[in-house]
Amino acid sequence: MKNGETVENLLFLTEKLKKDLESGAKIPVSDYSIGQACIYLYDETGNDDYRKLADSLHERLIGFLGTDESSISLSGIKDMSFYMPFYTDYETRWNKKNGYNDICDRFRSAFELIRDDGLNGTYCSEIITNKIFFLKTVVESLCYMSIQIYEDYRLLEDILRQGIRELFFDLRSIDKICGLEDDVKMCACYVLLMGIKEGHIDAEKYEGLAIRLLNIDADEDLDTTFQDHIDEDLKTNIETDADLKEDIDSDSKLKKISLMKMRSFLIKEFINDESIGIKPSESPCSPNVRKLMIDAYIMM
C-alpha cells in the first residue's frame, strides 16, 4: 500500500467493475484483468469485499469462456492477456485448480495457431506482435500456476521456452523486433526479464537481448543519473488521479504513462542498481510482480 496513486486508481477501477457486475451489464474483455487488482487489494487489505468481487468476476468469466466469443483465434490472442493470468490465479487459490485442463487446452491451441501463422517464413509485424503478447500471457500465468500439478506447469513452461527460442533465435526477427512499436518492444523485454527472474530461461542467453530492447548499453553501468532521468519522466508526465480518471478514455495518454511506468519498473525491479544484472527471484506472487502486471495491461 506504499504507492497511493496506484491504490487510488485500482479502487476507481474496482468500484466501476462492481457497479457493472451488479447491473448485469456486459463487460469488455479488458475488464477481466481487473481481477488481478481485486486480488491485490484483498491481499493488501484483507477486505472480503474484494474477494467477493473476484468471485463474481470469476463466475462471469466462466460464462464468457463458454461462449464462441472466447474461442481461440489469431484475432483473440491479445485478449487472452486480459483474462488468463486472473483465471489461473483464481483457480490456483480458490477453485481447487478445477480449471487447469481448460487453461492448458487454451494455451496449447493458441500456441499451435501462432506457430502455424509464421510457418511461411515471411516477416509480418502482426505475427511477431501476436507471439510477443501470447508469451507475455504465458509467463504471467506461470507465476500463478501451482508446480504441484507438474504436468500442467511443465506444459506452460515448455510453451514459453519453445516460443522464446523460435521468436528470438531468428536473427532477422530480432532486428525486426527492435524496430517495432515501443509497447511491443517493452512487452518483449518484459517476457525475457520475467522468464529469467522466475528461472524459466537462462540469463546468460537472454539478458543481453533484454537490455538491448531497453536501449541500454550493456557495457555501461546503470548509474544514478539514468535512474534520476527515469524518475523525472514519471514525475513530470504522470497525471494526477483526478485527471487520469477524467481522461480514462484517452488511449494515447494512458499508453504513454503505462509505458513509462513499465520501463521504470523493469529497470528498478529486475536490474541491479550497481551494475547490469538480474536480481534474485522474489516470490512469484509478490506485490511488486503483481503491481507490474496490473500496470502492464489494465492501463494499456
- Confidence class for position 252, pLDDT limits 50, 70, 90: low
102 pLDDT higher than 70: yes
Say if CB 19 and CB 270 are below 8 A apart.
Answer: no
Q: Check pLDDT > 70 for residue 106.
A: yes
DSSP string covering 242-280: HHHHHTTT-HHHHHHHHHHHHHHHIIIIIB-SSSS-BPP
Query: 262-277: per-residue pLDDT in tens?
Result: 666 666 666 544 433 4
Contact 190, 136 (CB under 8 A): yes
Say yes or no to pLDDT of 59 above 50. yes
CB 135 within 8 Å of CB 85: no
Residue 3 scores a pLDDT above 60: no
| 154-210 confidence digits (pLDDT tens) | 999 999 999 999 887 665 566 677 777 777 888 888 898 889 888 999 888 888 788
- 3-class SS of residue 217: coil
Q: pTM here?
A: 0.78
The residues spanned by each domain of the chain are: 3-219+250-299
The pLDDT, as a whole number, for residue 212 is 75
Residue linked to cell 527460442: 165
Report the alpha-carbon distance of residue 128 to residue 176 in Å, rounded: 9
| Residue 98 confidence (pLDDT) above 70 | yes
Residue with cell 537490455: 211
Would you say residue 235 has pLDDT above 80? Answer: no
What's the CA gap between 141 and 138, in Å, rounded?
5
Distance between CA atoms of residues 210 and 190, nearest Å: 8
Q: Which amino acid is at 236?
A: T
Q: In this structure, which amino acid lies at residue 58?
A: H
Whole-angstrom distance, CA of residue 166 vs CA of residue 169: 6
**Tens digit of pLDDT for each residue in 110-136?**
999 988 765 555 557 778 888 998 999
pLDDT for the residue numbered 100? 98
Over residues 69-94, the pLDDT tens digits come to: 888 888 888 899 999 999 999 999 99
Backbone angles phi, psi at 271, to 5 degrees: -120, 135
pLDDT of 134: 94
Q: Give me the residue label for grid cell 491504490.
A: 7
Q: What pLDDT was estimated at residue 123?
A: 58
Give 72-141 as a 3 state SS string. CCHHHCCCHHHHHHHHHHHHHHHCCCCCHHHHHHHHHHHHHHHHHHCCCCCCCHHHHHHHHHHHHHHHHH
36 — pLDDT class (breaks 50, 70, 90):
confident
Determine contact, residues 44/287, Cβ cutoff 8 Å.
yes
> What does residue 278 show for φ and ψ, rounded to 5 degrees?
-85, 135
278: nearest Cα among 263, 267, 289, 293? 267
CB 238 within 8 A of CB 261: yes
Decide: residue 135, CB within 10 A, 0-12 exposed, 13-18 middle, 19+ buried: buried
